[in-house]
Each structure stands twice: as structure tokens, then as C-alpha cells.
Amino acid sequence: MVAIRQWEMRSPKEPLVFSERRIGLPAAGEALVRVAGCGVCHTDLGFYLGQVPTKHPLPLVLGHEVSGVVEAAGPGADGWAGKRVVVPAVLPCGECSACRRGRYALCPAQIFPGNDVHGGFASHLVVPARFLCDLGRVEDSALPLYAVVADAVSTPYEAVRRSGLREGDLAIFVGAGGVGGFGVQIAAAHGAQVVAIEPVAERRRLATEHGAGLALDPQALELPALRKAVREFAAGRGLSADEWKVFETSGTTAGQEIAFGLMTRGSHLGVVGYTPERLTLHLSRLMALDARAEGNWGCAPGRYPELLRLIGEGKIALEPYVERRPLAQINQVLSEMIDHRLQRRAVLIPEPEREQGTERERR
């Protein structure tokens, strides 16, 4: 039996509760992963606030950005034992019609940790081993950072890939926090000229240090002024006034409105951020501009090695965008996210003694 220390959501908007549960060894094809780090995503916040229903009934352990070490593996997955891994946020079955067509995001049997099954706000989690990402010889001290590869890095990477972005293109990211901050770096690594539109000064600073040639404050500039500033930036670098690649990575209605308004003729709009709020748009602009809009649900696990290469080459920096926090501070982190006080991606690191102590104090 394996003892798992976890923080579970029992009802929306209520503090997560520390508990322990015992499970048997992994079944065939499964891996037991000891969590080194688990990122906290705005999707987790949506579950926590009750804005998005979870597929698994409550109580549920949230968390879908996980890096760790495989402590045990079931029959057929034995080769994973002892490996340092990233757990992809979307784990397809690999066998269905959608998977055979390469449309892994459409897999009806996919597993999303922290939604379909218990996730990574815990000491361990059990997941299918088939699509784990082998990190090789990553140092123990760096291993928690790689948790963000599961979503915050891989999802904008897939959006950039689908856009057809090439060297010399103009890429605009509306929202330069976790997902958008990594998106800026990914676009720059592809040779694009990058504009970041972000209301938080610290995030604008990071963006300009890691790939953005221009960072604009949408709270200081209305949409026409933003459009003018971007046009001047493009013209000053000899870039086309058409076919801009625009990525909505803020997950806000205001950000979505800006992103839609920045499209030019032939633009590609990548919808990466999520908000449950509705937005009224003049959809016919897509027709008039001969433009297109596309969303992406995560990233196919088979593309993760390319991300690891970019990280290894120093083209994607993780540390500046990550804030390490003890897992026992999960409720504090959620509160800071709600109040917009968290500037970097929080990665929670299990600390068993502190977690147990916190639970004794709670009682």
C-alpha cells in the first residue's frame, strides 16, 4: 500500500483540506509518480470557484501541471520506474479513432489529472504511463520547474505551431503572465518579432527581457492606440502590415476583445486563455479580413521533446516565470490568485512534515 498526502477540494470556494489516503500498487500500464512540483493554473482556479464543473465527483485533488519521479510502475510500464518525468496535462488513450488520426485532444477517453482523476496537489498521483515525458538527467533542484511544461509551456507552443509562425513574422501576445510569458519566448525562439500586451509592469519587464521587442500597457492605451503602436513597431522593423499572429493568453474578456480587435488581413488568432464569461464580437470580421481563429486544448505529448530541446538551449527560461511555494500554502496561493496578487506561476512543492503539521494546527 502507498500512503498519499493530499489537499482535496470538497466543495467549491471552500479551503482545500489536507487528508491521507492509501492505494495499492499501480495497475497494468499505470505509473505512480512522486510529485516534485505541481503548477497552479487558472483552470484549477476555475474548478475551485465552481465556474467549471469537474468530471470526477468531489472530493477531488486538483492539479494538472506535474513533474516528478516514477516510484512504481505496473505491468507493461516497468521501464518507467525511477525516471524523472513530466505528466502531460492531457493524456490520450492512444487507441481510439481520434488518436489514430493524430487528434489526441479529441480523445473521448483522455485523462486530465485534477479533473478526470486525482491530480498533483499531493505527494503522489497515479496516471497512465504511456505518454509520460522522460526528462532524462534533470537535477533534483530543477525538477519542480519542469511542472509548467505540462501546460503553461506546451499549450502556447501548440498554439504557435498551429499558427504557422515563421521567422520574420509579427507575433502579439495579449497577456504575458504564465502562459503568455512562455508564449513570448516560444515565438521569439521561432524568429518572430514579438509584442506583449500586459497590464502588470513586472510581467512587461520580464517579457522585454525574454523575447518581446515591445511591451504595452492596455490600461494606459485604448484599442486604437494599441493598434497604432503595434503598426508603428511593425513598420519600424520592416514587417508586413498583414498576417499578424495574435495570441489571446490573458483568459479575460478584455484581453479577448483586444486580441480580436488587433487582427489584420490574413491574421491568425490563437485562443489560448479561458474565461467562463461571454463576449460579444463582430464575428464577420473574420470573413472581411480573410482571417481565422483557432483554439487548442493542450498539446500532443509527442511534441514535448521539442520543448525540452528549446529549454535545454536556453531559448525558453523557466525560473524567471516560476515562484516555488510549499504545497501546504495551497489555500494562500489560491487566495492570492483570486486577488491578482500572484505575479508568477506558482509551483507547489510537497513538504510532508509541514503538510502534516498544518493539518494538526487546523484541527
**Closest alpha carbon to 348 in 124, 6, 37:** 37
- State the number of CA atoms in the 13 A half-sphere of 328 facing the CB: 12
What ranges do the domains of the chain cover? 2-151+300-362, 154-295
Of residues 354 and 124, the one with the higher pLDDT is: 124
**Closest alpha carbon to 163 in 279, 293, 283, 57:** 293
Cell numbers 468531489 correspond to what residue? 58
237-241 mean pLDDT? 97
Which DSSP string do the residues of 159-195 spell out, in sequence order? Answer: HHHHHT--TT-EEEEE--SHHHHHHHHHHHHTT-EEE
306-329 mean pLDDT? 97
**Closest alpha carbon to 267 in 291, 249, 300, 240:** 291
**Is residue 41 a contact partner of residue 177, using CB atoms and an 8 Å limit?**
no
CATH class of 154-295: alpha beta
* pLDDT surpasses 90 at 296: yes
**Is residue 131 a contact partner of residue 64, using CB atoms and an 8 Å limit?**
no
313-322 mean pLDDT? 97
Query: Lowest mean pLDDT: which of 35-44, 200-209, 263-272, 352-361?
Result: 352-361
CATH, domain range 2-151+300-362 = 3.90.180.10
* pLDDT surpasses 60 at 232: yes
pTM of the entire predicted model: 0.94
| Cα–Cα distance measured from residue 176 to residue 121, given in angstroms and rounded to the nearest whole number | 25
**Is residue 156 a contact partner of residue 249, using CB atoms and an 8 Å limit?**
yes
**What's residue 1's pLDDT?**
85
Q: How far is CA 229 from CA 178, 225, 259, in A?
A: 24, 6, 14
What is the chain's length?
363
**What's residue 362's pLDDT?**
39
Could you tell me what percent of the chain has a pLDDT over 90? 95
| Cα–Cα distance measured from residue 105 to residue 230, given in angstroms and rounded to the nearest whole number | 33
